[in-house]
Structures are given as C-alpha cells and as structure tokens.
Amino acid sequence: MSRAKERLKGGDETKDSVTLLPCFYFVELPILASSVVSLYFLELTDIFQPVHSGYSCNDRSLSLPYILPRQEVCPLPLLFSLAFAAPTATILIGEAILYCYLSRRSTATQTEANINAAGCNFNSYIRRAVRFIGVHIFGLCVTALITDILQLSTGQHTPYWLDVCKPNLTHINMSTCDEAFILEDICSGQDSGLINAGR
C-alpha cells in the first residue's frame, strides 16, 4: 500500500502524492466537463424545449421593452470579464499575498508542504490558486445550469415577453386583452430566437 511520504528538500517540506492527479482526472475534471456540456446543450441548442405556460396580455410584469444588446447598460463582454477575470485576479493576488506571508515565517512547520505528483512539483501557491479558481468556475457553471433548468421547467416568461411575442388576438377570436389568459402560441413577432429565449 502506498502512503504519502514526507521528506525535506533544501529546507522545503515536500509530500509525495499518488492520488492528486488521478483524483483530478477521474473525479473533478469529469464533473466539470459534464456541467459545461450540459450548459452547452441547455443554452446553445434547441434539444430541450421550454414548457409552454400561459400568460395574460395585460400583465405588467411581462410588458417591459426589449433592449438590444448594443444598448444595454452592461454589455455582455464586460459582464463576462467581471464574472470570470475579476474573481480570478482577486484569487491570484490573495493567494500570492498569503504565500509570501507564509514563506517569510521562520518556522517551516506552519507552512503548507509542496506536493510531488507524477514527477511534477506543485507548490502550495499554484495548488491553492488552481483549486479556488476551479471551484469558482464550477460554481458559475452550476449556477447557470440550475437557472436554465428552472427556467425551462417552469416556463416563466421574461419581463420583455409581450414586446418580442406581439400576441395576435385574432388567432383566438378575441379583440381585447381584458381578463384573457392565453395558452396558445399566437406570437406574431418576427424573431423566433428572441421568442424562444423569452419563454
């Protein structure tokens, strides 16, 4: 049975690990890959169709105007950079400060040991930074995945639904929206992508 051995190398403590890389390759990486693939199929394909739920055409919560992407207050590239790059930079800076602080301490027993796995030596800074950045990216993927699943399964419409759908009441033999609850697909909007995204 193989156990982690500790040895001192030039004053730095190093631990041999036979489980670090297999755990990454066979547990963490497949979980992250499956969440990213699921997110791809939910976001970018039409394999999973949203539930068609009813709506009222005088519902004020569905009557907001649709804003074109170029007119948004926070453009999508800025949003992605804030969601990915800002936390990653914060984690790297925070871990660098912690690593510098702990490496300057005089006692070696209070610092984290380096890990030697499959011939690669990972110091504590790289190990902790990769771990926390991976947890952050995994959390973003799972949050987006849960949000998409809930949106598809409940059929809750977006706040700009009536603006992109433009319901044609003549298809259901109605002239006004007073107290009408619409279950049929009577959208007369031209952009089917926006209509599907709004469901």
Judge whether 1 lies within some domain.
Answer: no
Judge whether 180 lies within some domain.
Answer: yes
Q: Is the pLDDT of residue 5 over 60?
A: no
Residue 76 structure tokens: 């999508």
Judge whether 175 lies within some domain.
Answer: yes
Cα–Cα distance list, 14 to 7, 18, 99, 128, 183 (Å): 6, 13, 16, 15, 65
Nearest CA to 121 out of 1, 3, 2, 7 is that of 7
Q: Is the pLDDT of residue 92 over 90?
A: yes
Whether the CB-CB separation of 44 and 146 falls below 8 Å is answered with no
pLDDT tens, position by position, 24-59: 778 878 888 888 888 888 877 778 777 778 888 888
For residue 7, give the H/E element and its range: strand 6-9
Count of domains observed in the chain: 1
3-state secondary structure 83-121: HHHHHHHHHHHHHHHHHHHHHCCCCHHHCCCEEEECCEE
Q: Tell me the mean pLDDT in the region 73-77.
A: 85
Judge whether 176 lies within some domain.
Answer: yes
Judge whether 74 lies within some domain.
Answer: yes
Q: Is the pLDDT of residue 107 over 60?
A: no
Q: Is the pLDDT of residue 4 over 50?
A: no
- Residue 129 structural domain: 6-198
Judge whether 33 lies within some domain.
Answer: yes
Judge whether 90 lies within some domain.
Answer: yes
Greater pLDDT, 62 or 114: 62
Bridge partner list, 117: 120
Q: Is the pLDDT of residue 19 over 70?
A: no
Judge whether 83 lies within some domain.
Answer: yes
d(CA 82, CA 77): 9
Q: What is the pLDDT of residue 89?
A: 95
